[in-house]
Amino acid sequence: MIVEYIRYRIAEPQHAAFEEAYQRAAGQLGEAEQCVDFELARCTEDPNAYILRIRWTSTEDHLEGFRKGKHFAGFFAEIKPYLESIEEMRHYQVTAVAGRGGSTPTLYEWAGGAGAFDRLFTRFYERVDTDELLAPVFAGKDPQHAEHVAAWLGEVFGGPARYSTEHGGHRHMAHQHLGRGLTEQQRRRWVALLADTADEVGLPSDPEFRAVFMYYLEWGTRMAMIYSGPKPPPLPETPMPRWDWGITPPYRG
């Protein structure tokens, strides 16, 4: 992943035309397979200063793929009148320094913290033990199994890194599913029963939280099925997946 920044200085009478040109050019960026995302911003202290940020899959994909591909001509035709207004056009490598501010609660905080996840999975596995379809899957589970899964989801949703530091992280979770041969019927039952339990224990019911919650359950259970199948992929060496409002694991084609 590489980030390109293009800095423009656009005189006030041209602001509207400039933004409209990029609105049209955005269609070409949106269709380019080398483009991850993009954003045009105008400076509040200096309204004539604009910055275009484009994330490309790589510098080579931008220069050799996009610029020599079918979408470049249409893109360039729209922004060509503003080439002389460019003050900088460079590619930047993203560093490990990244994070989030405190203006928005994490999913972990919004759900109610450790207590909420402990209640959720304690009650969930009580229900699992009497569920005809799921009880055989979890027969002989560790007595702390509910606590461990609560630590997993808590970390995934932005809480403390307990599962990574105490239970082996992403690789360990994937390993737990090897050879289990989970079925689609069991997967769907797991999702439905956990969603019902979330209602029972009083997890937040707002559409925004529940949308991310259910999105994760679909992703997580489908990954579990992949690793439980006859030809699982190599165990992941990646850090724990992290989910947030509108942020999920990246697409990997």
Instruction: Encode pLDDT of 175-222 as tens digits.
Output: 999 999 999 999 999 999 999 999 999 999 999 999 999 999 999 999
Residue 68 has which token pair? 């020599």
Alpha-carbon Rg for the chain in angstroms: 24
Does residue 116 carry a pLDDT above 60?
yes
Does 252 have pLDDT greater than 90? no
Q: Would you say 190 and 134 are in contact if contact means Cβ atoms under 8 Å apart? A: yes
d(CA 145, CA 143): 6
| Paired sense of beta strands 49-56 and 2-9, if any | antiparallel
| pTM of structure | 0.76
Give the DSSP H/E element, type plus range, for residue 41. strand 35-42
pLDDT reading at 8 higher than 60: yes
Please, what is the angle between helix 113-128 and helix 145-156, to 10°?
130
Q: Residue 234: its pLDDT value, please?
A: 95
Question: pLDDT above 70 covers what percent of the chain?
Answer: 98
Q: Is the pLDDT of residue 253 over 70?
A: no
Token readout for 150 is: 């609560």
Instruction: Quote the tokens at residue 158.
Output: 């932005």
**DSSP β-ladder status, 35-42 and 49-56:** antiparallel
**Is residue 155 pLDDT above 70, yes or no?**
yes
Cβ-in-10-Å burial (0-12, 13-18, 19+) of 86 comes to: middle
All CATH 3.30.70.100 domain ranges of the chain, comma separated, are 2-93
**CATH top-level class of 107-228:** mainly alpha
Q: Give 38's strand partners.
A: 54
Q: Tell me, what's the pLDDT at 204?
A: 98
Q: Give the pLDDT band of residue 69 (cuts 50, 70, 90).
A: very high
| Helix (H/G/I), strand (E/B), else coil: 150 | helix
pLDDT at 158 over 90: yes
The predicted pLDDT at position 99 comes to 77
> In the predicted model, what is the mean pLDDT of residues 126-141?
96
Average pLDDT, the chain: 95
Average pLDDT over residues 110-136: 98
The CATH-assigned architecture of domain 2-93 is 2-Layer Sandwich (3.30)
Residue ranges, comma separated, of all CATH 1.10.490.10 domains in the chain are 107-228
For residues 46-74, average pLDDT: 97
